[in-house]
């Protein structure tokens, strides 16, 4: 096997060593206490599956940058959308989008960008009954997560752009909000949305989409997951690309073939909370349940490296 084609993911031996450590790590994570620091807090306000999937996609789409900046934006939009976000988008027209989103700005995105998302979700509910049905159409056509997501975002963006531009102005960061075509990036926020919808139900994820297997999900790769994944030998790749996300997911499938991304919440929040930061903290490394499988912690503590 050539060097280029050799896998850089988790070996079978390393998987056997890591599995019990990671199981203990996940079990020790107080997921409920972390929901308030996560955009998943917004769909947890609702009980109807349609309200959950609509509010979740809005929250995931805007969940970039600092949480203290995007959370008020999502909260304000959902409050103005009323008790049922699904009913709101199902009835939404361009005039209503203008009333809701006139003057909206969040970093890369302006009101027109968000209006496309809301109108697209409304059209999906009217024509397919659910966002799940729209997504599954792409999944069945392509048989791949990348292809299904590409179809999903393209369908959501199929709204009257000319009319929107006249009343709200030109779009600015639409490709960032709803990338189409999907491209080589990790599509972290879209994969995060899928994790919420498909896996579970548990304290965090909803499991309301029943037509997709959790085994097909791809890890929502961000800087925290990427860093910890390299520490644990899930990948040697340093870029935040779809290829890296697939490689990390393939490594996690060695630990749990049926539900590989169930480790995501605990690992991501380990980084988000500052317990496992970019610059390691020796005191934290010493107490880490994952230390025996970590490539960095033993060096910080001047211990023998793993496998020695």
Q: Could you tell me the domains of the chain?
A: 1-37+213-308 (1.10.1670), 38-183 (no CATH)
Q: Which residue has the tokens 């999502």?
A: 74
pLDDT, residue 7, reads 54
Q: Are 254 and 13 in contact (CB under 8 A)?
A: no
pLDDT by residue (tens digit) across 99-158? Answer: 999 999 999 999 999 999 999 999 999 999 999 999 999 999 999 999 999 999 999 999
- Whether cis (ω within 30° of 0) applies to the bond prior to 106 is no
Return the ∠ at Cα 101 (arms to 99 and 102), rounded to 5°. Answer: 70
pLDDT by residue (tens digit) across 174-199? Answer: 999 999 999 999 999 999 999 999 99
What is the Cα gyration radius of the chain?
20
The whole-number average pLDDT for the span 151-178 is: 97
The pTM for the full model equals 0.94
Q: Which of 308, 217, 206 is nearest to 263 (CA)?
A: 217
Q: Which residue has the tokens 């096997």?
A: 1
Please tell me the distance from the alpha carbon of residue 89 to that of residue 268, in angstroms, as a whole number.
Answer: 31
Residue 253 has pLDDT above 60, yes or no: yes
What is the separation of C-alpha 285 from the centre of its chain, rounded to a whole number of angstroms? 26
Please tell me the distance from the alpha carbon of residue 249 to that of residue 235, in angstroms, as a whole number.
Answer: 9
Q: Which residues make Cβ contacts (< 8 Å) with residue 128, sequence separation at least 6?
A: 134, 137
- Helix crossing, 111-128 with 145-156: angle to 10°? 100
Q: Which of 153, 138, 265, 277 is nearest to 200 (CA)?
A: 265
Please tell me the distance from the alpha carbon of residue 145 to that of residue 192, in angstroms, as a whole number.
Answer: 13
Q: Are 221 and 191 in contact (CB under 8 A)?
A: yes
């Amino acid at each position: 096997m050539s060097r280029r084609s050799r896998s850089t993911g988790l070996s079978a031996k390393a998987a056997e060593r890591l599995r019990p450590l990671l199981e203990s790590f996940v079990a020790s994570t107080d997921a409920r206490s972390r929901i308030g620091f996560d955009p998943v807090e917004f769909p947890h306000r609702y009980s109807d599956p349609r309200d959950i999937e609509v509010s979740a996609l809005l929250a995931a789409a805007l969940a970039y940058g600092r949480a203290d900046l995007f959370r008020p934006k999502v909260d304000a939009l959902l409050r103005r959308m009323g008790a049922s976000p699904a009913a709101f988008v199902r009835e939404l027209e361009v005039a209503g989008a203008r009333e809701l989103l006139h003057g909206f700005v969040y970093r890369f995105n302006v009101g027109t960008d968000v209006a496309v998302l809301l109108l697209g979700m409304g059209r999906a509910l009217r024509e397919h009954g659910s966002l799940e049905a729209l997504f599954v159409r792409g999944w069945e056509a392509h048989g791949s997560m990348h292809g299904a997501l590409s179809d999903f975002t393209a369908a959501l963006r199929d709204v009257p752009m000319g009319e929107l531009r006249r009343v709200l102005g030109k779009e600015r960061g639409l490709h960032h909000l709803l990338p189409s075509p999907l491209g080589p990036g990790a599509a972290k926020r879209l994969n995060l949305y899928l994790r919420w919808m498909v896996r579970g139900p548990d304290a965090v994820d909803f499991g309301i989409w029943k037509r997709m297997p959790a085994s097909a999900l791809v890890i929502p790769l961000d800087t925290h997951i990427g860093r910890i994944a390299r520490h644990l030998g899930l990948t040697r790749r340093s870029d935040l690309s779809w290829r890296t996300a697939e490689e990390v997911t393939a490594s996690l499938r060695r630990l749990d073939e049926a539900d590989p991304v169930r480790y995501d919440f605990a690992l991501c929040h380990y980084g988000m909370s500052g317990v496992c930061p970019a610059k390691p903290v020796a005191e934290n490394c010493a107490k880490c349940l994952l230390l025996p499988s970590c490539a960095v912690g033993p060096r910080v503590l001047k211990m023998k490296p793993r496998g020695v």
